[in-house]
Amino acid sequence: MREIGHFIGGRNVAGKSGRTADVFLPMTGEVQAKVALASRAEMREAVENAKAAQPGWAAQNPQKRARVLMKFLELVHQEYDSLAELLAREHGKTVPDARGDIQRGLEVAEFACGIPHLMKGEFSENAGPGIDMYSMRQPLGVVAGITPFNFPAMIPMWKFAPAIACGNAFILKPSERDPGVPMRLAELMIEAGLPAGILNVVNGDKEAVDSILEDPDIKAIGFVGSSAIAEYIYGKGCASGKRVQCFGGAKNHMIVMPDADLDRAVDALIGAGYGSAGERCMAISVAVPVGEETADRLMEKLIPRVESLKIGLSTDPDADFGPLVTAEAVKKVRGYVDLGVEEGADLVVDGRGFTMQGYENGFYMGGCLFDRVTADMRIYKEEIFGPVLSVVRAKDYQEALDLPTKHEYGNGVAIFTRDGDAARDFASKVEVGMVGINVPIPVPLAYHTFGGWKRSGYGDLNQHGPDSIRFYTKTKTVTSRWPSGIKDGAEFIMPTMR
Ligand code: NAD
């Protein structure tokens, strides 16, 4: 049995707590590895290591820090195939989809290579008589990232690449369900020239997370996961004076206007609703056709497409999606489908009975499609996180705009239309952080920022892009007068520039 420990001080170390969790092979349902769950003492060891290494790293000029990331990009590219395979085998998503997971992470590492420019401060000459004023951005020290199972390459890179480029040392606490790729990424960072102690991976569960929350030497936490845990971490982290950003769950709507190109809308719904078995925070889980006629035409095209989805092994290049991450996840998603039937929604495609021949113990589930879901149902209000799409029929544009606006989650949303005025009005008014216009999964690229609103995001700075540099640095502003010093004598009133 493969054992996964931690990566502390630039090397792999075995877990010492005596506690482990199973890492499954979702394709077959077998346990493929045991991952160590860190104790408080092990977390402390990693923090001390990071704290000792960080000042030296911060003192390196930013070009040199960027060069480590450049080398890291090269090393990941050399290992792309094996990393994607490892990722697919632990998560369950298909190998081509796993490549996308790696790529969207690398793009943030590419962005962070611009750190010499990104960390430049501001300078005002002659802000007063003989006075110059300038600001600089300095790293926070030791910072931490706590990441979810569903993007085990992308989200760790979204966190550690900008944080490390800024001169911080980083503690990553990845999901215990698929820790293999984060561990390998840390090894590659060291191979790329990162000093030992600057990137540590400490595997674990609530105990490891609580140790991060309580550690006075950890200055900032970036979290991504479900909203209940996001709220817990945001509350506790802020109360102990840390800088915290937490990104939570989602219920992303796609509005289909009567003038939309329905074939394109259906393609978009199939890919965005069922890709990665719906285990994406930007998956579309609610389709909102506007008007009964649009809804009927949409359902006519959608039903056969959902019925013909190809579910396969994670290693099958022709599969539309693979298994879910764990048996527990399948149970939860099936439970929501049962609930939807009880609540009175029309289950027009039922994937609950799907089994994969020869892999009966794998964590598979077929695509499910509900029609006539209403806003008071729990299957509408709650995040299901599986291959289940709900159709909510809206009578007009205003009702369609109100649905995502009033929903407690506000991560992503999309509108499909040919009408620029409707799209513009929607983008301006909808209470959601990321909006797609004829684009179903509007994940902003690395040089913009990513973040949801309402219960999908806590804290005022987003992930990646310029916000990540602000999040992982603090501003120092210097007011300097040369060479007259204070020869004019003491001043007792507040200096102003009047
Ligand atoms: P999760 O909340 O179960 O776990 C996330 C992290 O928190 C993991 O590292 C886990 O070990 C830790 N954790 C779990 N339970 C904990 C507890 N009781 N106390 C302290 N820490 C705990 O989330 P998940 O199932 O791994 O990921 C799926 C969720 O993440 C979905 O809700 C999805 O929408 C969300 N997500 C959001 C975004 C975004 O950017 N908004 C991106 C990806 C995923």
Percent of the chain at pLDDT > 70 equals 99
What does the buried/exposed string (b/e) look like for 165-191 if buried means 16 or more CB atoms within 10 Å of the residue's CB? bbbbbbbbbbbbbbbbbbbbbbbbbbe
Alpha-carbon distance of 372 to 292, in angstroms, equals 11
Choosing from 19, 24, 224 the residue with most ligand 1 atoms within 8 A of its CB, the one to mutate for a pocket test is: 224
pLDDT at 147 over 80: yes
Ligand 1 center to 229 CA (angstroms): 7
In this model, does residue 491 exceed pLDDT 80? Answer: no
- Ligand 1: residue of 175, 183, 336 to mutate (most ligand atoms within 8 A of CB) is 175
CB environment 410-438: b (16+ within 10 A), e (fewer): bbbbbbbbeeeebbeebeeebebbbbbee
Return mean pLDDT, the chain.
97
pLDDT at site 488 = 66
Residue 276 has what DSSP assignment? G
Q: Cα(323) to centroid of ligand 1, in Å?
A: 19
Distance 228 CA to ligand 1 centre (A): 9
Alpha carbon distance 464, 453 (integer Å): 16
Two structure tokens written together for 149 = 């199972």
Record the tokens describing residue 226, joined without a space: 């479900």
The alpha carbon of 224 and the centre of ligand 1 are apart by a number of angstroms equal to 6
Minimum-distance ligand 1 atom for the alpha carbon of 463:
40
* Pick from 112, 175, 493: nearest CA to 325: 175
| CA-based nearest residue to 247, from 55, 92, 412 | 412
For residues 374 and 240, give the distance between their C-alpha atoms in angstroms, rounded to a whole number.
Answer: 41
Question: Residues with Cβ within 6 A of ligand 1?
Answer: 146-151, 173, 175-176, 205-206, 209, 224-226, 229, 247-250, 281, 383, 385, 411, 452, 456
In this predicted structure, the answer to whether residue 72 has a pLDDT above a threshold of 90 is yes
Task: State mean pLDDT over 387-404.
Answer: 98
Which positions are annotated as active-site residues?
Answer: 281
For ligand 1, atom 19, which residue shows the shortest CA distance?
206
Could you tell me if 390 and 373 are in contact, meaning their C-beta atoms sit under 8 angstroms apart? Answer: yes
> Residue 370, Cβ neighbours under 10 Å: how many?
26
Distances from the Cα of 237 to the Cα of 30, 215, 222, angstroms: 36, 10, 10
Strands 457-458 vs 243-247: parallel, antiparallel or unpaired = antiparallel
Tokens of 456: 């999908």
User: From ligand 1's centre to the CA of 1, what distance in Å?
Assistant: 26
What was the pLDDT predicted at 225? 98
DSSP category for residue 290: B
Task: Give the ligand 1 atom nearest the CA of 225.
Answer: 30
In the prediction, which pLDDT does 496 show? 80
Averaged over 439-453, what is the pLDDT? 96
pLDDT > 70? residue 485: no
Quote the DSSP letter at residue 342: H
- Give residue-wise pLDDT tens across range 28-66: 999 999 999 999 999 999 999 999 999 999 999 999 999
**What residue's CA is closest to ligand 1, atom 42?**
281
Is the model's pLDDT at 483 over the cut of 80? no
Q: Output the CA 226–ligand 1 centroid distance in Å.
A: 4
- For atom 21 of ligand 1, the residue with the nearest CA is 206
- Given a cut of 60, whether residue 486 has pLDDT beyond it is no
Strand segments, DSSP code E, in 430-493 are 434-437, 453-454, 457-458, 473-481
69 with 190: CB under 8 angstroms? no
Res. 482: pLDDT tops 90 = no
* Probe target for ligand 1 pocket from 281, 282, 284, 450, with the most ligand atoms within 8 Å of CB: 281
Phi-psi region of 10 (alpha: psi -120 to 50; beta: other; left: phi over 0): left
Amino acid 130: pLDDT: 86
Question: Is the model's pLDDT at 449 over the cut of 80?
Answer: yes
| pTM (two decimals) | 0.96
pLDDT for residue 354 is more than 70: yes
The whole-angstrom distance between residue 28's C-alpha and the CA centroid of its chain comes to 27
Atom of ligand 1 nearest to the CA of 174: 9
**Is 70 exceeded by the pLDDT of residue 487?**
no
The pLDDT > 90 percentage for the chain reads 96
Q: What is the ipTM of this complex?
A: 0.99
